[in-house]
Structure 1
Amino acid sequence: MITTTGLTKVYRAHRARGHEITALDGVDLHVREGEVYGVIGQSGAGKSSLIRCVNLLERPTAGTVTVAGQDLTALAGRGPRAGRELRKARSNIGMIFQHFNLLSSRTVQDNVELPLEILGKSGKERSRKALELLDLVGLTDKAKAYPAQLSGGQKQRVGIARALAGDPKVLLSDEATSALDPETTRSILHLLRDLNRQLGLTVLLITHEMDVVKTVCDSAALMENGRIVESGTVTELLATPGSELAAALFPVSGDASADDRTVVDVTFQGDAATQPVISQLARTYNIDISILGAAMDTVAGKQVGRMRIELPGRYEENVVPIGFLRERGLQLDLVEAAADTAAADTAAADKAAQASVPAKEGAK
């Protein structure tokens, strides 16, 4: 539904000649139809530039943007203003902003009607559609109120209703919950998930909050310095050893109690999350297992957990217990032992290389 290829955006400072800032550096993104996709990263990572390039509010310096089968960059033209074809293509894209962007002089209903007014719809049609959308977001009783009379969450619901006025196929959300309190954030996220399911919307979320990804996203991407450094479905990411996103979604910590210990991060998903696997491991092999840290939550409708455990003995002594866990469909990521093993492999390689030198010299 949304595809960007080699997307690049370079900002040039007007007063400082030769000074350029690369906000997007060859971004390749693919959002499937009907999914909720989260792009996460710190401030300055390029998230907002990305979402504004998706609907061409910002013109990319290079690369292409395709939405619902249309190459928007090919429709952009050369002038600063959007042409008729691009404006028509944008009608398939709704946009929710961080700071609501409601007109204070208009009522809630009038704010929702604004896009329809721009599209030239009749007053009767505008009114019918606006009231229908306000009912969808739970604000029927606020139709005649003004933005100043609403809470932050209610204002964002008006913003969502307005974004849906043109019956878009794609909904873009630029930090839509960052100005809201946690409880209101959850209600807005659940609303977006409900709209995704009811209307078949494809939703692209820009956020810096891991809880947003955890609560509603089917897939996610991590952005750093204008590039996507990691992406995939949330399930795939959680099953990927060393995944930064997985570690951030379920942070667990804890250090080995001694050098001769093996520390492993275990990821549980679906049915495995409710099985007593660790206790079974302890009974089967008669070993003491220490739980150093754990986190569990529901992600994309599935129960997921991560646990950091410590096994007695070095890695080579725990090959069988680790195999036991893998056989039960658990994802494992070695923590302490991985570094030790890598160091041992390097030392062994160096030793072998040194041993081969005299032999070669003797052959000469």
Structure 2
Amino acid sequence: MITTTDLTKVYRSRGREVTALDGVSLHVEPGEMYGVIGRSGAGKSTLIRCVNLLERPDSGTVTVDGQDLTALPGPRHRAGRSLRRARTGIGMIFQHFNLLSSRTVRGNVELPLEILGLTRRERARKALELLDLVGLADHAAAYPAQLSGGQKQRVGIARALAGDPKVLLSDEATSALDPETTRSVLGLLRDLNKQLGLTVLLITHEMDVVKAVCDSAALMEHGRIVEAGVVNELLATPGSRLARELFPVAGPVAGDGRTVVDVTFHGENAGQPVISHLARAHDVDVSILGAAMDTVGGRQVGRMRIELPGHPESNAEALAYLRERGLTVEPAAREAPAPRETPADGGTDEDPGPRPTDALAPEGTR
């Protein structure tokens, strides 16, 4: 549904160049919830803005629903109508809601419908249907100042659905919300994904968002994707950085005469007493140094750092025992220092980004 190929984007200002995207290739399947995660400055916001061409990449292609958007003329071009029409199939949710304070909730949802040329009656009917879908039908006459953060974001989601999109883009949509509200909004996005068959591409710096709703994920650093794949498969992949960051486990790894490994439990073995069986079957003392467990995609997944006495060579049979039972076993990795963050996004997390009407605005109004 969404494919980017070798996207590059360089921002130039006062003789200085910042490479926001450096050859980014990404593929999102139809109906998938895909998360792009990375630190501030990794290039996430630039990537998502290039998907609907609110930012035009310097090179590379963006294909959405089989159509190469980068081949279409810009909105200021005489033939730019085709790009605007393609954008109506792409909804976007913003971090800071971007609601118009002078309009009611219903009026905010009706705004893109006005641009699309619907009559007043059609706009009212459609807006109320969308507000009902996000659980805010009884707040249609309220103003944004009267809403909570979670309610404002639900209005933003309803507005993003106004054009009956096949693709929904989420630009840090939950980063300004408290944990409980975040869970509620993520649950709504997951429900809409299943109910409407939406393909959802979301960017975030929160690992909990990926764990809660994403089918697949990609890790971005310094304008590049350094790892990508199906979340459950990544969790079973030795050496996966995303797996380590989704389920970080603490515990000392240095020292001679002992074996320290990280063990990932997934599938049916997540609830089995494998470690106690290991201790009895191989008559070995097992120390648990750290553990993390959660639910990903409706399945329980966990990681555990354990210590066995003796060198790895002397524990080969014990480690093979764990692998034979479907667990992923790898040497515990020392924590690397956090990389220094750089403004590769061409802005900061506080940048509200493009106006919500940019993707639908008539020619010559931007």
* Pairwise same-fold verdict (TM > 0.5): yes
Question: What does the per-residue CA deviation read over 1:157-195, in whole Å, with 9 as the maximum and x for residues that have no partner?
Answer: 000000001110000000001111111111001110010
Could you list the per-position Cα deviations for residues 207-232 of structure 1 after superposition, in whole angstroms to 9, with x for gaps in the alignment? 01111111111111110000000110
The yes-or-no answer on 1:48 pairing with 2:45 is: yes
CA contact (8 A) 1:263 1:336 kept: no
Match of 1:119 among 106, 116, 119: 116
Partners of 1:202 and 1:166 in 2: CA distance: 14
Q: Does residue 1:153 correspond to 2:153, yes or no?
A: no
Give 4+ residue runs of structure 1 displaced > 6 Å after superposition: none
User: Which structure is higher in helix share?
Assistant: 1
Note the C-alpha offset of 1:335.
2.2
Q: Secondary structure at the match of 1:5?
A: strand
- State the partner residue of 1:92: 89
Separation in structure 1 between the aligned mates of residue 99 and residue 333 of structure 2, nearest angstrom: 52
Q: What code does the residue aligned with 1:307 have?
A: M
Aligned to 1:3: 3
Deviation at 1:256, TM superposition (A): 4.7
Partner of 1:195: 192
CA distance in 1, matches of 2:159, 2:30: 22
**Which among 329, 338, 341 is matched to residue 332 of structure 1?**
329
CA 1:41 to 1:126, structure 2 compared with 1: closer, same or farther past 3 Å?
A: same
Name the amino acid aligned to 1:46. G
1:77 offset after TM fit, Å?
Answer: 4.0
Q: How far off its partner does 1:242 sit?
A: 1.7
Work out whether 1:181 is the aligned partner of 2:189.
no
* C-alpha spacing 1:193/1:262, structure 2 compared with 1 (3 Å): same
| Residue in structure 2 matched with residue 268 of structure 1 by the alignment | 265
User: Is 1:70 aligned with 2:67?
Assistant: yes
User: Is the 1:40–1:209 contact (alpha carbons within 8 Å) kept by the matching residues of 2?
Assistant: yes
Query: Aligned with 1:318: secondary structure?
Result: helix
Pick from 248, 252, 271: which aligns with 2:245? 248
Following the alignment from structure 2 to structure 1, what is the Cα–Cα distance between the partners of residues 37 and 332?
Answer: 25
Per-residue Cα deviation, 1:110-134 (whole angstroms, up to 9, x for no partner) = 1111111110111111111111111
Shift of residue 243 of structure 1? Answer: 1.4
**Unaligned stretches of 5+ residues in structure 2:** 335-366
Q: Quote the Cα distance in structure 2 between the aligned partners of 1:75 and 1:297.
A: 44
Q: Structure 2 CA distance, aligned partners of 1:212 and 1:78? A: 34
Letter in 2 for 1:105: S
Please report the TM-score for the alignment, with normalisation by the length of structure 1: 0.89
Cα 1:211–1:230, aligned 2, differ >3 Å: closer, same or farther?
same
Counterpart position of 1:350: none
Measured in 1, the distance between the counterparts of 2:180 and 2:145 equals: 21
- Distance in 2 separating the partners of 1:258 and 1:61: 50
8 Å CA contact 1:262–1:336 kept in 2: the answer is no
Q: Is the 8 A contact 1:3 1:31 kept in 2?
A: yes
**What is the rounded CA distance, in whole Å, between the counterparts of 2:152 and 2:332 in structure 1?**
45
2:202 partner letter: L
| Cα drift, residue 286 of structure 1 | 1.1
State whether residues 75 and 81 of structure 2, in contact with CA within 8 Å, keep that contact through their aligned partners in structure 1.
no
1:310 equivalenced with 2:307 (yes/no): yes
Q: Helix, strand or coil for the counterpart of 2:229?
A: strand
- Which has the higher Rg, Structure 1 or Structure 2? 1
Shift of 1:244: 1.4
- Does structure 1 residue 129 correspond to structure 2 residue 138? no
- Partners in 2 of 1:61 and 1:78 — Cα distance? 17
1:31 maps to which of 28, 34, 41 = 28
Contact 1:109 1:127 in 2 (8 A): yes
Return the TM-score normalized by structure 2.
0.89
Displacement, 1:313?
1.0
Ranked by relative contact order (alpha carbons within 8 Å, sequence separation 6 or more), the top structure is 2
Q: Distance in 2 between matches of 1:57 and 1:335?
A: 42
The CA deviation at 1:285 is 0.9
For 1:273-311, what per-residue CA distance to the aligned partner results, in whole angstroms no more than 9, with x for missing partners?
001111111111111100000000001211100000111
1:5-34 Cα distance to aligned partner (Å, 9 max, x none): 010111111xx23x2111100100001111
| Secondary structure, aligned partner of 1:316 | helix
Backbone CA RMSD of aligned residues:
1.5
Contact 2:75/2:84, CA 8 A, preserved across alignment: no
Tell me, yes or no, if structure 1 residue 234 matches structure 2 residue 234: no
| Alignment partners' CA distance in 1, 2:152 and 2:77 | 31
| Structure 1 gap ranges (5+) | 338-364
